[in-house]
Amino acid sequence: MPPKKKKVSVVVTLNLEAGNAAMVDLGKMLGPTGVKTIDIKKEYDAATAQQRGEVIPAVVTVFEDRSYELRLKTPPTSFLIRKAIGANSGSARPGNATVGTLTAEQLKSIAQRKMVDLNTESLEAAMKTVAGTARSMGVKVEA
């Protein structure tokens, strides 16, 4: 007989610091589910230790039997853009004031990294998506 599928209780997406997940954030979101948050923290920290200093989103699927599944995603596009241009935040007035310039090479590298999480197979389309995010943050994009 094939194994029964587990029933999903809740799915939570968390933006956590790689290699050093905050127990406070985990506890707030996962405490009511009954899952052992320390186990999730240890698994997350071990999986993201090589990427310290970045924000790595984690999707935690909690099942009715209180077991869980942890899936990691790529860092948010805005985080990668800020890191590439060396800015702490986007523009307060996008379209009027710019906070930096994203080169074509930086744009391509960000798009390649985000390809797994984007809904496209084309690098050009991924680059357009990243460029749109950059423009909405007040970052000038070189063609």
Per-residue pLDDT tens over the stretch 40-81: 999 999 999 998 889 999 999 999 888 999 999 999 999 999
Q: What is the fold of 8-72?
A: Ribosomal protein L11, N-terminal domain (3.30.1550)
Residues in the chain: 143
Residues forming a β-bridge with 12? 60
Show the tokens assigned to 87. 């800015």
Q: Is 17 exposed, middle or buried (0-12, 13-18, 19+ CB in 10 A)?
A: middle
Domain assignments of the chain as residue spans, ordered by start: 8-72, 77-141
Distances (CA, A) of 118 to 13, 100, 104: 16, 24, 19
* Arithmetic mean of pLDDT over the chain: 89
Q: Does domain 77-141 have CATH number 3.30.479.10?
A: no
